[in-house]
Structure 1
Amino acid sequence: MSQGNASEKTYQIVSNMNIPKENIEVNYLFTGCGTSYYIAISAARYFQEITGIQANAVPASEIFLHEKQVFTPHKRYRVVSISRSGTTSEIITALKAIKHRENISTLAVTCNSDAEMAQLADDQISLDHISEKSVVMTQSFTNMLYAIQLYAARFAENTEALKELKQVPKLLNENVSHAHVMKDIVQGAKAERFIFLGAGIYNGLAKEGTLKLKEMTQTECESYSNLEFRHGPISIVDEETVVVLFSTTKMSEIDHTLLHDIKNNGGKTIVIGDLATDLTADHVINIGSNLSDEARATLYIPYFQLLAYYQSIKLGLNPDQPRNLNQVVKISLP
């Protein structure tokens, strides 16, 4: 199933959901492990932006290891747990730890409705049409993030956001085909390290771009919020550094000077954004969606996924079976 067709199915599933409305103030907490935690980071930013409700993200292990640092007494929470398999050890342990807390309700977002996580949660968004054989999460990342965006827009009854999100599946198919430009970029790049920069909702995407490259290629790479990169990390930029910058309308002017400084230090730059042609970089990729910064986030995903894929092929590695990794992480927990 193509990315666009999968996202169309995701749109239908969330559109047909019964979304409960809370009568009193509830804090939203998004959680997951690895890639799913990076979804949580972006999802929390989007949810708060669209609904105006406080939303944060923590790794699932923090919920049961440092519960008093995560939850405040006498406040109500909605915990949104995210896991492709629905069987990740930390997610299961976290949900069990809060199962009987009267002030906490739970929502599972998963690609496996039969998994224990889905059964432990009060509600679920199940994307059973997403099936990946690869150890590395790709289509599942895109669709779980998109599903949460749809959930947030429906929760807020934001018709403009829903109108924009409805366009995503078609645009996603178009961008998947355009993203193969990454093959030529990778072939022409001499890089020892990659750095991904993204702010706001795109900070989670920058972290995921880093993880995809690490998983598939074991290449040295890091991620930062755009302006945070100036506060020390820019010192590592040299002629063998490639910086991938996720450009947004809000950050465009700031990114001009940031890109200039990176190039002055010898770094190569790749800019991905909407109508980003006014930014000076070695490679400028225009998504061309005309959607808002928040709505178009999933359209960036194929580019960094294919960057990692083609880099792994270039290095003679198997992108679907990275060393030291399994599709599901299960560990012994107390």
Structure 2
Amino acid sequence: MHTYNEIKSQADQLQRTYDLLREMKFDQNSVDQVLFTGCGTSFYLASSAAKIYQSVTGQLTAAVPASELFLHESTLIVPGKKYLIVGISRSGTTSEIILALEHVKGKSDIQTLAVTCNSGTPMEDLADQVIALDHISEKSVVMTQSFTNMLFALQLYSAKQANSVEDLEQLKRVPAIVQEALSDENNVKSLADDHSKQRFIFLGSGSYNGLAKEATLKLKEMTQTECESYSSLEFRHGPISIVDESTAVILLAQIETAAYDQELVKDIRSLGGHVLVVGPVVDKFETNEIIRLTDTINDRNRHAVYLPALQLIAYHRAISLGFDPDKPRNLTQVVKL
């Protein structure tokens, strides 16, 4: 299975991404705002990357779907302000990204950075600067290691732009931590194989909300399972009404959210929901299942460590239901208008 192999080989690829970004140099022209943009999975990546970049650099950011840049420019671009647009596309050929970059090409107040897994593409030709991860060459339709590595590359880019030695030192450790996280699939597989769970909810806040949305998309793409994602504490405001014994909730726990995670889990379980918590939690944390992740690096540098578990839930669920993860229904590797 291409999908499985690409999930399991992520640690080695992350190391190659680290080695590549460590040597790259970038322009640091002053801008008023950085806009991160993509489509589908790449937009969810942009959502996380924008919040990480703002946290690390102190620079104002936003994440927007690529189509918004050419359909509704006036809602995003203020005349007289300077922007950096970070376009994200695995293939480098996604139609809306190309249209967006063409739309802003040549505008004096707009700089562009392309992040892709393929050099020599139209996207590269349109951008002022490029991060091309040519070592990522997925055969699967769904994005797995490409998502993880492009996000990791943008974390390294953020740390370099801020000259943050602490963040760079923590990110240096991520490939080894991911390798360790990939060593045990038992919790993931047991939940994925439980056919009594018909509805899946992914919860994550801050820069982890993009990961929750991506996990939802992976499960939907591979299995057509009914699934949704929410910002963690927002889940109480209406959506919690759908929780019952057939509901599985996957909470992306963080050090920042520790004071609130336990009570949220208790509320969900009191309604019959089954909760898998992924992240750093205290020893006596009460839930159904836990995948413990390291607390030795901070929240804004730990994202890549969550992704293998989230991707493997979708993969093992697909296998359990008799789907082929390599051939998701109605999908192709590149979407072109």
TM over 0.5: yes
Whether contact under 8 Å (1:276, 1:286) holds in the other structure is: no
CA distance in structure 2 between the partners assigned to 1:189 and 1:249 by the alignment: 32
What is residue 200 of structure 2 aligned with on the other side? 194
**Cross-structure match for 1:74:** 80
Q: Work out the number of aligned pairs and report it.
A: 330
Aligned pair partner of 1:3 in 7, 10, 14:
10
Q: Deviations over 1:10-52 (max 9, x none)?
A: 0111111111112x34310000000000100000000000000
> Please, which runs of 5 or more residues in structure 1 have no aligned partner?
none
Which residue is 2:3 aligned to? Answer: none
Deviates more, 1:313-322 or 1:24-33: 24-33
Question: Which digits, 9 at most, give the CA deviation of each residue in 1:142-163, with x for residues without a partner?
Answer: 0000000000001000000001
Question: 1:91, 1:206 → 2: CA distance?
Answer: 23
Per the alignment, residue 137 of structure 1 pairs with: 143
SS in 1 for 2:248: strand
Identical aligned residues as a percent: 52
Question: Among 40, 46, 55, which residue is 1:49 paired with?
Answer: 55
* Within-5 A mapping of 1:237-256: 237-256=243-262
For the 8 Å contact 2:205–2:232, the answer to whether it is kept is yes
Partner in structure 2 of residue 115 of structure 1? 121
Residue 24 of structure 2 is matched in structure 1 by 17
Q: Could you tell me which of 20, 26, 30 is aligned with 2:36?
A: 30
Structure 2: 5+ residue stretches without partners: 1-5
1:147 is the counterpart of 2:153: yes
The AA in structure 2 aligned to 1:58 is V
- Correspondence 1:285 to 2:285: no
| CA distance in structure 2 between the aligned counterparts of 1:278 and 1:90, rounded to whole angstroms | 47
Following TM superposition, by how much is the alpha carbon of 1:288 offset from its aligned partner in structure 2, in angstroms? Answer: 2.6
* Alpha-carbon separation, structure 2, partners of 1:254 and 1:180: 27
Residue 253 of structure 2 contacts residue 281 of structure 2 at CA under 8 Å; is this kept in 1? no
Q: Is the 8 A contact 2:318 2:325 kept in 1?
A: yes
In structure 2, the CA distance between the partners of 1:8 and 1:320, relative to structure 1 (3 Å rule), is same
How much does 1:180 deviate? Answer: 5.0
Q: What one-letter code is carried by the residue in structure 1 that aligns with 2:191?
A: I
Q: Which residue of 2 aligns with 1:163?
A: 169
Aligned equivalent of 1:294: 300
With over 3 angstroms needed to count, the CA separation of the structure-2 counterparts of 1:277 and 1:118, relative to structure 1, is: farther
Letter in 1 for 2:270: N
Q: In 2, distance between residues paired with 1:82 and 1:280?
A: 38
Which residue does the alignment assign to 2:228?
A: 222
Instruction: Give the superposition deviation at 1:287.
Output: 1.4
The alignment partner of 1:90 has SS state of: helix
1:184 aligns with 2:190: yes
Q: Distance in 2 between matches of 1:89 and 1:40?
A: 17
Q: Is the 8 A contact 1:107 1:124 kept in 2?
A: yes
For residues 229 and 115 of structure 1, what CA distance do their matches in structure 2 show?
41
2-structure distance, mates of 1:229, 1:11:
35
- 1:59-103, CA deviations, whole angstroms, 9 ceiling, x for partnerless residues? 000000000001111100000000000000000000000002110
**Letter matched to residue 169 of structure 2:** K
Task: Report the secondary structure of 1:278's partner residue.
Answer: coil
Q: Does 1:310 align with 2:290?
A: no
SS in 1 for 2:21: helix
Deviation string, structure 1 residues 303-330 (Cα, Å, up to 9, x no partner): 0100000000010001111100000000
1:79 counterpart letter in structure 2: I
CA distance in 1, matches of 2:238, 2:319: 32
Aligned partners of 2:295 and 2:139: how far apart in 1? 30
Deviation (angstroms), 1:274: 1.8
**Distance apart, 1:184 and its partner CA:** 2.2
Q: TM-score, normalised by structure 1?
A: 0.97
Q: Is the 8 A contact 2:117 2:136 kept in 1?
A: yes
1:83 counterpart = 2:89: yes
